Chains A and B, each alone.
Chain A
Amino acid sequence: MIRQGFILCLTLLPFISLFFIAPSMGIENNEAIVHTVGLTIILSGINVWLATTFAWWLLWTESRWKHVLEWLVFLPLFIPMLATLFGLYLILAEVGLIGTYVGVMLALLVVTIPYSIRLAYNGMAVIGRPLLEQARLLPMSRRVVYVLYPLFSRTMRTIALFSTVILLSQFALIQLIGAGLIPTVTTELYQSYAGNNRSLALSNTWMLILFPVVIYFLLSGWNRWMVRMLKGRLQ
């Protein structure tokens, strides 16, 4: 009981202090919100798509290069973020993508995709290879729509949430690769912290918290509706 209480305190501690600060004022930089929403949607979508298809391939491939490729893909998990970031900066600068939306997106993909693949792979392992093999005997469209999507929707939601949270945590990456031209809620928040504007920092913080929460409920509702709709088509 003590252990559970301690863990709960640790989890809630950062949020308790938010209630002690003065009421927040509105966020003026709508561009930052638009960028954040755009990046979240595109990044989550690409992550879910790439991670799911790659994990599916990993699950079935008999290629002798499987382990090498697996190791290379998961490499960013073990290399410090700043090292990755500097390497990325040099490459993207070389091809002229610094300060662009595409450059920021590519950089965010590099840091999120290893986690997403790991989540997708574990998600498939939970469903179990034998059940997925049964699904493989079904025509492709039915397999994806009626079996894989409903069984995998929670993992997809987790991948989307996880990539969103990573995106919202990246100040240095977005600031460096975006060259200050791609403002997001995170970069705005950092600036308000730096300027000791607590009120603005608070409103940005609530925005940061709100993003994953809204995404969680949106995706949960969407998944539930989709599964019910698909089951209805089998009646």
Chain B
Amino acid sequence: MSLNVVDLRKQFGSRQILDDVDFEVALHDIHAIVGVSGSGKSTILRIIAGLETADGGDVRWNHRSLNKIPAHKRRVTMLSQTALLFPHLTVGENVTLATRKRSRKQAEHWLQVVRLGDRYDAEIHELSGGEQQRVSLARALAAEPELLLLDEPFTNLDPKLKLDLQRFIRDLVKELNLTAVLVTHDREEAMLMADRVTLLEAGKVTRTGTVEELYDSEPGFGDFVMIDGELRPLSEVEISETIGEPVQLMKKIYRFGQCFGEYHFEDGRSIMLPTHEWFQIGMMYRMKRKEEYHA
């Protein structure tokens, strides 16, 4: 079973938003669609959800076309930038409404899963942004979807919460064997969460591949380094004097009142990282994951 997006076309007025977009999402995969604002990535998601109709092409789930199936019959749920909870309902009622049999018990279960088991009777406005997003996730999961659509759901969260929620959702999607499509402009987010990535540029797919394939073949794809055998965003690594992978400091520059160093790996790759002013050019140092990112 898989999701196939075939030759998808969409035009708004005279502007071509999607131009023969093709990609496949394997079952139980998290597939990221990465592109800048206006590249058409959210439109793809809205067409998959049935909230928008394509001018041409097809969306197939398990080889069955979804084009004529209304949104509520597609077994698809969507998480957006804002939680979009129904304001007249409490936390629990929002989730209960999404369950198949309007079951409070099931709603309580899903709220437990997102670690909000004690907030069933809370009003929506009493929750923080992160909590609202988790309720939204509980509501999305309570509908027992076959496909989970994530439309930049972490955009409005602070960095710490964002990272927590990214990991939480990724683990949960894997644990529940769901298939998910994540839309984001943030390459780091795509690298952290997705199994496969599709790069979108002005409504056209420029490349699809695994995170590792893109890291190897797309020089501009995110600021990542391979460390401890895993790809890590530069924001998670730091230079140390004692442990980690050996790197050589080749150059120091000052930007925004901060010192940055250009470090070269043994295989010739180079990266730019914040560095101590007393580090000396030409000396060997070590690169490691920041302590706070060690699980």
- Taking Cβ atoms with an 8 Å cutoff, the residues of A that contact B are 62, 130-131, 133-140, 142-143, 146-147, 150-151, 227, 231, 233-235
Contact B96 A138, beta carbon cutoff 8 Å:
no
* Neighbour of B93 across the interface among A62, A130, A134, A231, CB < 8 A: A231
Contact A130 B84, beta carbon cutoff 8 Å:
yes
Contact A151 B86, beta carbon cutoff 8 Å:
yes
Contact A137 B78, beta carbon cutoff 8 Å:
yes
Across-interface contacts of B49 in A (CB, < 8 A): 137
When C-beta atoms are compared, the residue in chain A nearest to B96 turns out to be A234
Query: How many cross-chain pairs have Cβ atoms below 8 Å apart between A and B?
Result: 59
Within 8 A of A (CB), among B93-139: 93, 96-98, 102, 104
When C-beta atoms are compared, the residue in chain B nearest to A128 turns out to be B84
User: Contacts A234-B93, A235-B93: A139 and B88 contacting too (C-beta < 8 A)?
Assistant: no
B294 at the interface (CB under 8 A from A): no
When C-beta atoms are compared, the residue in chain B nearest to A153 turns out to be B88
B66 to chain A, nearest CB (A): 13
The stretch from B69-77, B208-216, B220-228, B281-289 touching chain A is: B69-77
Contact B84 A138, beta carbon cutoff 8 Å:
no
* Majority-rule SS of A interface residues: helix
Contact B78 A134, beta carbon cutoff 8 Å:
yes
Contact A234 B97, beta carbon cutoff 8 Å:
yes
Contact A151 B88, beta carbon cutoff 8 Å:
yes
A130 to B272, CA, bound (A): 40
Within 8 A of A (CB), among B49-100: 49-53, 71-72, 76-78, 80, 82, 84, 86-90, 92-93, 96-98
A62 to B49, CA, bound (A): 16
A146 to B90, CA, bound (A): 12
A131 to B81, CA, bound (A): 12
User: Contacts A130-B84, A134-B78: A231 and B89 contacting too (C-beta < 8 A)?
Assistant: yes
Across-interface contacts of B71 in A (CB, < 8 A): 136-137
A138 to B73, CA, bound (A): 8
Across-interface contacts of B52 in A (CB, < 8 A): 62
A16 to B117, CA, bound (A): 57
When C-beta atoms are compared, the residue in chain B nearest to A227 turns out to be B88
List 15 interface pairs A-B (beta carbons < 8 Å), by A numbering: A62-B52, A130-B82, A134-B80, A134-B84, A136-B71, A138-B98, A231-B88, A231-B89, A231-B93, A234-B89, A234-B92, A234-B93, A234-B102, A235-B93, A235-B104
- Taking Cβ atoms with an 8 Å cutoff, the residues of B that contact A are 49-53, 71-72, 76-78, 80, 82, 84, 86-90, 92-93, 96-98, 102, 104, 143
- The CB with the most chain B CB atoms within 10 A, among A150, A151, A233, A235, is that of A235
A233 to B103, CA, bound (A): 10
Across-interface contacts of A147 in B (CB, < 8 A): 86, 97
Contact B82 A139, beta carbon cutoff 8 Å:
no
* Neighbour of B97 across the interface among A130, A133, A138, A227, CB < 8 A: A138
Contact B72 A143, beta carbon cutoff 8 Å:
yes
A134 to B80, CA, bound (A): 9
Across-interface contacts of A146 in B (CB, < 8 A): 86, 89, 97
Across-interface contacts of A231 in B (CB, < 8 A): 88-90, 93
Contact A233 B102, beta carbon cutoff 8 Å:
yes
B180 to chain A, nearest CB (A): 15
Across-interface contacts of A150 in B (CB, < 8 A): 88
Across-interface contacts of B51 in A (CB, < 8 A): 133, 136
Across-interface contacts of A142 in B (CB, < 8 A): 97, 102
A51 to chain B, nearest CB (A): 21
A134 to chain B, nearest CB (A): 5
Across-interface contacts of B87 in A (CB, < 8 A): 151
When C-beta atoms are compared, the residue in chain B nearest to A145 turns out to be B97
When C-beta atoms are compared, the residue in chain A nearest to B80 turns out to be A130
Across-interface contacts of B102 in A (CB, < 8 A): 142, 233-234
Across-interface contacts of A134 in B (CB, < 8 A): 78, 80, 84, 86
A223 to B86, CA, bound (A): 17
Contact B72 A139, beta carbon cutoff 8 Å:
yes
B135 to chain A, nearest CB (A): 12
Contact B53 A62, beta carbon cutoff 8 Å:
yes
* Neighbour of A137 across the interface among B53, B72, B88, B93, CB < 8 A: B72
Q: A134-B84, A137-B49, A233-B102 are in contact. List 10 more A-B contacts (CB 8 A).
A: A130-B84, A133-B51, A134-B86, A136-B71, A138-B72, A138-B98, A151-B87, A231-B88, A234-B92, A234-B93
Across-interface contacts of A140 in B (CB, < 8 A): 72
Across-interface contacts of B93 in A (CB, < 8 A): 231, 234-235
When C-beta atoms are compared, the residue in chain A nearest to B139 turns out to be A134
